[in-house]
């Protein structure tokens, strides 16, 4: 008995040690970003590195707002993320509903195509998409950034597998009561799918907020460039000098909104991803 308790205690200690290590690996870069944003310029390149600035300086934050069009980048990110999230969530829910609750020829083949799309990296389609967007005259436009990113294979897969776990009796009772497809979707299916829908929405928002490669290729103008592109331009200055406190201050301002959203909705996300969402 003592041996079993000893093993259990050792397993718990090992588990907490692993969690602490993972937290350190994740938290240390964030800590360094915040600390660097609070350093005076003369403490950035000091060796060995200074882990706590003395004195603490907040000059980099107003410099971000005054020296670069940060508010423009922030607004562009809100527009791109907002529109893409609405499009992806709408398409994902409707496509998943069709795969589960509608009967039509080729349904299985279409779903296999969706699964195949999950296996194709976005980088493979960059050249063809760029050529098409250039032909349409969509360079430096919001539609040029948004439309090629509007594919929603993951969301369709996630929501479809969750819809399959819903109680069949409730769905049939709603149909007997005369529910059409729209009423069934909005009155029955989605209210029972709230945790998974929140998880889908949160994953979508985070991914689109952090999207870099495609906006970088399309948005050479600050009028449509999002925050991630703006940060890259702060680092790659023409004079070869990078104001790292200002770059890190811009990074803190960039990640703070999405971090707050994640912290608020993380419980719903975990519940949605573990409540049968990957059940076949």
Token pair, residue 229, equals: 């592109």
CATH number, domain containing residue 247: 1.10.3720.10
Closest by CA position to 161, among listed 114, 105, 104, 203:
114
Alpha carbon distance 142, 52 (integer Å): 41
Answer yes or no: do 246 and 201 share one domain.
Answer: yes
Answer yes or no: do 18 and 101 share one domain.
Answer: no
Instruction: Tell whether 5 is covered by a domain.
Output: yes
Supply the pLDDT for residue 83: 95
Token pair, residue 5, equals: 């308790």
Q: Which residues contact 107 (CB under 8 A, 6 or more apart)?
A: 99
Answer yes or no: do 270 and 177 share one domain.
Answer: yes
Answer yes or no: do 221 and 264 share one domain.
Answer: yes
Instruction: Tell whether 204 is covered by a domain.
Output: yes
**Residue span of the structural domain in which 79 resides:** 61-274
Instruction: Tell whether 92 is covered by a domain.
Output: yes
Supply the pLDDT for residue 204: 92
Alpha carbon distance 24, 32 (integer Å): 12
Closest by CA position to 163, among listed 133, 126, 190, 139:
190
For the chain, the domain total comes to 2
Report the predicted TM-score, pTM, of the whole model to 2 decimal places. 0.83
| pLDDT tens, per residue, the chain with 280 residues | 556 665 667 777 787 888 888 888 888 888 888 898 888 888 888 888 888 888 888 888 888 888 888 899 999 999 999 999 999 999 999 999 999 998 888 888 998 988 888 888 878 889 999 999 999 999 999 999 999 998 888 899 999 999 998 888 888 888 888 888 889 999 899 988 888 898 899 889 989 999 999 999 999 888 999 999 988 888 766 566 778 888 889 999 998 888 888 888 777 666 655 554 444 3
Answer yes or no: do 38 and 174 share one domain.
Answer: no
Answer yes or no: do 108 and 232 share one domain.
Answer: yes
- DSSP tally for the chain: helices H, then strands E: 13, 0
Answer yes or no: do 105 and 20 share one domain.
Answer: no
Answer yes or no: do 9 and 97 share one domain.
Answer: no
Answer yes or no: do 36 and 91 share one domain.
Answer: no
Supply the pLDDT for residue 53: 84
Answer yes or no: do 133 and 35 share one domain.
Answer: no
Answer yes or no: do 102 and 198 share one domain.
Answer: yes
Instruction: Tell whether 206 is covered by a domain.
Output: yes
Answer yes or no: do 172 and 264 share one domain.
Answer: yes
Is the Cβ–Cβ distance between 277 and 158 less than 8 Å?
Answer: yes
């Amino acid at each position: 008995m003592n041996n079993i308790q000893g093993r259990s205690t050792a397993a718990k200690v090992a588990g907490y040690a692993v969690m602490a290590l993972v937290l350190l690996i994740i938290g240390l870069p964030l800590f360094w970003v915040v600390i660097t944003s609070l350093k005076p310029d003369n403490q950035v390149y000091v060796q060995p590195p200074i882990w706590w600035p003395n004195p603490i300086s907040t000059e980099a934050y107003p410099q971000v707002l005054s020296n670069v069009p940060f508010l423009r980048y922030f607004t562009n990110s809100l527009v791109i993320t907002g529109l893409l999230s609405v499009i992806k969530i709408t398409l994902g829910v409707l496509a998943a509903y069709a795969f589960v609750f509608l009967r039509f020829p080729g349904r299985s083949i279409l779903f296999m195509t969706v699964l195949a799309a999950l296996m194709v990296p976005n980088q493979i389609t960059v050249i063809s998409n760029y050529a098409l967007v250039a032909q349409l005259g969509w360079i430096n436009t919001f539609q040029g950034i948004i439309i090629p990113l509007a594919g929603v294979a993951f969301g369709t897969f996630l929501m479809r597998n969750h819809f399959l776990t819903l109680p069949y009796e409730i769905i049939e009772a709603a149909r007997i009561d005369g529910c059409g497809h729209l009423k069934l979707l909005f009155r029955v299916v989605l209210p029972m799918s709230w945790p998974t829908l929140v998880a889908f929405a949160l994953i979508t928002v985070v991914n689109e907020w952090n999207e870099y490669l495609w906006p970088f290729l399309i948005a050479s103008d600050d009028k449509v460039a999002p925050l991630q592109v703006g940060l890259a331009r702060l680092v790659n200055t023409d004079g070869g000098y990078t104001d790292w406190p200002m770059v890190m201050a811009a990074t803190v301002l960039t990640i703070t909104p999405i971090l707050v959203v994640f912290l608020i909705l993380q419980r719903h996300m975990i519940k949605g991803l573990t409540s049968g969402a990957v059940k076949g």
